[in-house]
Structure 1
Amino acid sequence: MRGAVLLDLDGVLLDSRDAHLSTLAGVATASLGRRITTADLPPHAATTPRVDVLAGLGVADPDEICELWWAPALATASAELFPGVMDGLQALKDADVVTGLVTLQSRSRLPWLLPPATLGLLDTWVCREDAQPKPAPDGIFLALTRLGVGPREAVFVGDTFTDRQAALEAGVAFAGAGWGYVGTEGLAAAGMSVLLSEPTQIGPGLLDLIRTGSNPRRVTTRNQ
């Protein structure tokens, strides 16, 4: 079997929603000089660009503040792999499916966000400094170029609307990760036709989306 499965990091491989919100609160606290908790964050803070959230809280120059404080604050937060992720990545490798990570995280953070064994199962990593961030398709195109796979042979698994937009612009099939930041109901309400309900559905069966050329309402593939 040949083809590529590209994956987002946060909300797809890594259960980092709480860590992301804690980091937002920590950066706001450091900037404003008063305590900001996750309860003080606006609704949908997890899926809103971080600079917009911080600006709404009154943080001046949020881009500069993130450059200064984001990595240290994130390093103190706890995030774990979703159960089933390692099995799914191993199943893809066993089926000779190449894989790529397309993330907004910086490359320097990957070693302390993901275990070495996880990084070892990914054939390429495209990070914030490598390409224009999603929703631009540049990161997906770069991953496909590195892997030697065309858009029609690839599936991108993401959990947000920006992930979907990037996939559409790149011309690759998209599968929504319902366990991520937006959730199954939110993705379905936005009209996403291919929805995965649990991380154990990451596997070679995703390539059926390419072969069939159709988008069932829900995918129930299991690792083989």
Structure 2
Amino acid sequence: MDIKALIFDLDGTLLNTLEDLTDSMNYALSSFGYEKISIQQARSYVGNGAERYLELSLINGKENPDFQECLDTFKTHYQANMENKTKPYDGILDLLNKVKVKGYKTAVVSNKFDDAVKQISPKYFNSYIDVAIGESEKIKKKPAPDSVYLALEKLGCDKSQALYIGDSDVDAKTASNSGLKFIGVSWGFRDKSILYELGAQTVIDHPSQLIKILEK
């Protein structure tokens, strides 16, 4: 397999962020007197950026007059508390170490807001990740291919030389829109069956399996 670059989703792929995302959303909701969500609800709501996450969590969504203030509260609380319970999934750091030793270039492309991505990526992955891109007004969020193309440009690689690894329907669509082969991961926020339905050629159950795929 002539692959030189690996493009990773962040939440649900490299990092288990679900508890911190749930806690910050519930802090924002309760601050304005709204009902909290369960961690199971959060699991199904995340993946499309902070605005969509709040839209699904808050009664009446964007039509709610408190929407913008609630969104700002969520972002502020999350950025200050996003390392409380978050941790890499088992085997991720070993995987990233091995792919760097083997000379692969790596990037994170996320729908998490860019300030958070820029803060959290070096915290957990140090030099293992070469490029980290999050949601911002400057670039269309996933599943648009723009952030993937930007990552490839920064890595100096063509899309034919890259794999996209993620855990969600958004990731499957992003890979398809970008023209990259998609490898799904079963340990994240979406069911394995959904990933196959959306076109994943392969779904892995442990990070170590990615090394075996790359060695084929």
* TM category, shorter: 0.7 to 0.9
Q: Residue 126 of structure 1: which of 133, 147, 153 is its match? A: 133
The match for 2:31 is 30
Query: Shift of residue 20 of structure 1?
Result: 2.1
What value does the CA root-mean-square deviation take over the aligned residues?
Answer: 2.8
Give the partner amino acid of 2:99: L
The match for 1:170 is 178
CA contact (8 A) 1:103 1:127 kept: yes
Give the partner amino acid of 2:103: D
The match for 2:101 is 94
Instruction: Measure the CA separation in 1 of the matches of 2:104 and 2:22.
Output: 34
CA gap 1:120/1:65 in 2 versus in 1, 3 angstroms: same
Instruction: Measure the CA separation in 1 of the matches of 2:85 and 2:207.
Output: 19
The match for 1:53 is 56
CA gap 1:128/1:42 in 2 versus in 1, 3 angstroms: closer
In the alignment, structure 1 segments of 5+ residues that lack a partner are 209-224
Query: Shift of residue 170 of structure 1?
Result: 0.8
Instruction: Measure the CA separation in 1 of the matches of 2:104 and 2:160.
Output: 14
In the alignment, structure 2 segments of 5+ residues that lack a partner are none
1:171-194 C-alpha deviation (Å, 9 max, x unpaired): 111111111100323323445331
5 Å-filtered alignment, 1:183-194, equals 183-194=191-202
CA gap 1:126/1:193 in 2 versus in 1, 3 angstroms: same
The match for 1:66 is 71
CA contact (8 A) 2:112 2:134 kept: yes
The match for 1:6 is 7
Query: Shift of residue 108 of structure 1?
Result: 2.7
- Does residue 206 (structure 1) correspond to residue 199 (structure 2)? The answer is no
For normalisation by structure 1, the TM-score amounts to 0.79
CA gap 1:149/1:6 in 2 versus in 1, 3 angstroms: same
Helix, strand or coil: the match of 2:196? Answer: helix
Helix, strand or coil: the match of 1:174? Answer: strand
Query: Shift of residue 159 of structure 1?
Result: 0.8
Runs of 4+ aligned structure 1 residues displaced above 6 Å come to: none
Instruction: Determine what percentage of the aligned residue pairs are the same residue.
Output: 22
Q: Which moved more, 1:21-30 or 1:96-105?
A: 21-30
Instruction: Measure the CA separation in 2 of the matches of 1:161 and 1:173.
Output: 14
Aligned residues: 207
Give the partner amino acid of 1:26: Y
Query: Shift of residue 169 of structure 1?
Result: 0.9
